[in-house]
Amino acid sequence: MFQTAEENLNAIAAIFRDDSDFVAREFQLPSGGSGAVVFIDGLASPEIINDFILKPLMNDAPISIGEAAKLDTIEKAAEVILDGDTVVFLDGFTTAAYFNTKGFPSRTISEPQTETVLRGPREGFTESMRTNTALLRRKLKTPDLRIESLRMGKRTRTTVCLCWLDSIAAPDLIDEVRKRIDTIDVDAILGSGYVEEFIEDDPLSPFQTIGYSEKPDVVAAKLLEGRCALIIDGTPFALTMPFLFIENFQSPEDYSIRPLSASFLRLIRIISFPVTLTLPALYVALVNFHSELIPTALLYTIAAASEGTPFSAPLETAVMLLIFEILREAGIRLPKPTGQAISIVGALVMGQAAIEAGIVGAPVVIIIAFCAVASFVSPTVSDAANLMRWVLLLLGATMGGFGILLGVLSIYILLASTQSFGAMYLHPIAPLSLKELGDTVVRIPMWMLKTRPSALRPQDKNRRSDDPKPDFSGGISPYGAEQ
């Protein structure tokens, strides 16, 4: 750094050259000499700069801003102003000072679009990393919560926060995540997917091995089980790891509603997965290879519907499935009002018209429609299911039931051999851990949920003490005190 503010200003201006949002304001100090403040217009708050930096400096008063520090180099000064801070150069100092004046626009906290709940908390993460860590901190008011900041991306210099609970998460898990993050060599981190692909165990597997959530309560619950989370600046999705297969079927709603209803809904979600995966393939295999397995009355219905249709069952199913995939993609990509129009055109007009025109049979449309609805039940696993469905359809159409069996077994082997940050993906089903099935296929009452998942190797294994739930049956009576 240089002795005069002007020289320092020239040096930093040389870095930003003619950038229109780079602002440098020179001023004279009442005590003599000159100074300069530099910041990025839009990232820094002009009110804070005017009222709490410029005004005191010009009136020889102390600057009252909480976060401030000294800087030694021009490069560092350039880095901090890109974060929205303001740097002050003064004549006669070979160091500069920076003040936290971050004031960039960000979205307000709103209900997440991807994880809606009926009874749970409704706030969701935003694109601002600091807001997100604050939301998480609000859920976990304990000094145990560690939030470690890292910078990633050579050009984007994105801040990524690694969060975990010190007394619960396994230390080797944190070390492993840190190690994997250190290996990331990329010029830009523009979303959570960029990080995910670099650190996950098997990037080519159709099944995700890192979880994501937009909800601070979900992330807090995962941290409490012994996982760690990555909050990435610029995206409302926090990554959680390790990720188990069963998490695809767990919804935050499960913990807000009664255990029996939650268990029933979870069963529905679990059953929907094999249904959406295999239904088109099973239909084709039954119709083409094993028609003796179809109940006679149903056989007549299917035969009546497919009579006169020009395509064979596999082709009919494949075409309808392709149309569904196109419609789904169009529905997601288009703006909301247009997206709805597409669904109506797709579902009503095309489906109905295709049946009436005798191009496809009604059973195929029903199968594909049901399969689509079932795939929406567990959104996190639907991407994998959408892909595997095609493979199974191909196997079912070429080899019938044997083919489907082969496909399903392969998927099972793939799932059973997958690992996520040292945890077996199918835990606690394979390897089987009977004790931990309470929060998998069913959801047992909270007071029975005593331990954390052992696959995550938590330091503190117990969620609560072993004491039984107090019995309230002898308490206040509607019939008054006993005689």
Partner 1 sequence: MKKLLKILCAAVTLCVILLSLGGCWSADEISHKAIILGISVDFADTPEKYLVTAQIARPSQLKASSADGENAYINISSEGVGVQAALHGFETQLSREIYTGHMELIIFSEEIARSGLTPVLDYFYRSSEARFSTPVIIAEGRAADLLDIQADLEQMPVSSILGTMSNQDSDIIMSGTTMGDLLREMVTEHSAVTLALFRVNGKRAAMEKAAVIKGDKMIGSLTIDQKQYELLAGGEYDEGVQVCKIADGKVASFRIMKCVTKHNLKYENGQFSADISVNITGQISGITFGGEEYTIRAREDLEQILRDFITRGINDMFSATKEINADIIGFNEMLRRKYPRDSKSLLENWDDNYRNFPISVSVAATLTGTGAVRERVK
171 is written with which tokens? 């230390």
* 187 or 292: CB nearest partner 1: 292
Show the binding pattern over residues 50-89: x = contacts partner 1 (CB under 8 A), - = does not. Answer: ----------------------------------------
Q: Looking at 185, 292, 471, 482, which residue binds partner 1 (CB under 8 A)?
A: 292
Q: By CB under 8 A, tell whether 303 contacts partner 1.
A: yes
User: Tokens 């001023």 belong to which residue?
Assistant: 27
- Residue 205 or 263 having the CB closest to partner 1: 205
**Binding mask 164-193 vs partner 1 (x if CB under 8 A, - otherwise)?**
------------------------------
Smaller CB separation from partner 1, 313 or 321: 313
Nearer to partner 1, 398 or 433 (CB): 398
Q: Judged by CB, which is closer to partner 1: 204, or 434? A: 204
Closer residue to partner 1, CB minimum distance, 161 or 284: 284
Minimum distance from residue 129 beta carbon to partner 1 (Å): 36
246, 420 Cβ separation under 8 angstroms: no
Q: Which of the residues 414 through 433 are near partner 1 (CB under 8 A)?
A: 414
- Which of 132, 306, 382, 420 is the binder for partner 1 (CB under 8 A)? 306
3-state secondary structure 4-63: CHHHHHHHHHHHHCCCCCEEEEEEECCCCCEEEEEEEECCECHHHHHHHHHHHHHCCCCC
Q: Applying CB under 8 A, what is the total number of residues that bind partner 1? A: 29
Tell me if 209 sits within 8 A of 200, measured CB to CB. Answer: yes
The residue within the footprint of partner 1, chosen from 108, 183, 296, 465 (CB under 8 A), is 296
Give which of 42, 65, 45, 43 is closest to 53, Cα–Cα: 65
**Tokens 């997100």 appear where?**
132
At residue 214, φ and ψ (nearest 5 deg) are -100, 0
Is residue 450 within 8 Å of 463, Cβ to Cβ?
Answer: yes
Nearest Cα neighbor of 249 from 113, 379, 136, 102 is 379
What H or E segment, with its residue span, contains residue 443? none
For residue 287, state whether it binds partner 1 (rule: CB under 8 A).
Answer: yes
Tell me whether residue 302 or residue 327 sits nearer to partner 1 (CB atom): 302
Letters for 340-379 (x = contact with partner 1 by CB under 8 A, - = none) are ----------------------------------------
Report the residue number, 90 or 414, with the smaller CB distance to partner 1.
Answer: 414
CB of 370 to partner 1, least distance (A): 19
HEC string for 325-393: HHHHHHHHHCCHHHHHHHHHHHHHHHHHHHHHCCCCCHHHHHHHHHHHHHHCCCHHHHHHHHHHHHHHH
Q: How far is the CB of 212 from partner 1 (least distance, A)?
A: 25
Cis peptide before 428 (omega within 30 of 0): yes
Least gap, CB of 336 to partner 1 (angstroms): 40
Supply the angle between the helices 171-182 and 192-199 in degrees, to the nearest 10.
110
Q: Which stretch binds partner 1 (CB under 8 A): 293-301, 327-335, 347-355, 455-463?
A: 293-301
Is residue 304 within the footprint of partner 1 (CB under 8 A)?
Answer: yes
CA dist., res. 201 & res. 211, Å (int)? 13
H or E element, residue 430: none
Tell the smallest beta-carbon distance from residue 404 to partner 1 (Å): 11
Both tokens of residue 150?
A: 């890292």
Which listed range, 165-173, 287-295, 439-447, 451-459, lies at the site for partner 1 (CB under 8 A)?
287-295
288 binds partner 1 (CB under 8 A): yes
Minimal distance in Å, beta carbon 293 to partner 1? 9
The CB-of-397 to partner 1 minimum distance in angstroms stands at 7
In Å, how far from its chain's centre is CA 330?
Answer: 22
Q: Which two tokens stand for residue 249?
A: 């079927």
Burial 372-389 (b: 16+ CB within 10 A, else e): bebbebbebbbebbbebb
Is 300 a residue that touches partner 1 (CB under 8 A)? yes
Tokens of 256: 């807000």
Binding mask 208-247 for partner 1 (x = CB under 8 A): ----------------------------------------
Q: Residue 89: is it exposed, middle or buried by C-beta count within 10 angstroms (0-12/13-18/19+)?
A: buried
Binding to partner 1 in span 387-416, by CB under 8 A: 397-400, 402-403, 406, 410, 414
CB of 411 vs partner 1, minimal distance in Å:
11
Q: Which stretch binds partner 1 (CB under 8 A): 11-19, 283-291, 365-373, 475-483?
A: 283-291
DSSP class of residue 203 equals T
Please give the residue ranges that form the binding site for partner 1 (CB under 8 A). 204, 287-289, 291-292, 296, 299-304, 306-309, 312-314, 397-400, 402-403, 406, 410, 414
